[in-house]
Amino acid sequence: MKKFVALLALSIVCLLFVRSKQVEPTTKYYFCFSREVPRLESPEKLKMVYTDIRTASGNEEKEMHDVIQKFGTFINKNCKPTNELCTSDLNRYYTLEQAQTRHKEILEEYGKTGKYDISRIDFKTFE
Residue 105 located in a structural domain: yes
CA distance 44 to 46: 7
Q: The pTM is what?
A: 0.73
> Which positions ≥6 away from 1 have C-beta within 8 Å?
none
Report how many domains make up the chain: 1
Q: Which domain holds residue 76?
A: 29-125
The more confident residue out of 78 and 42 is 78
Residue 68 located in a structural domain: yes
What's residue 14's pLDDT? 44
pLDDT digits (tens, 9 = 90+) for 60-119: 888 888 998 999 899 888 887 655 688 889 999 999 999 999 999 999 999 999 989 999
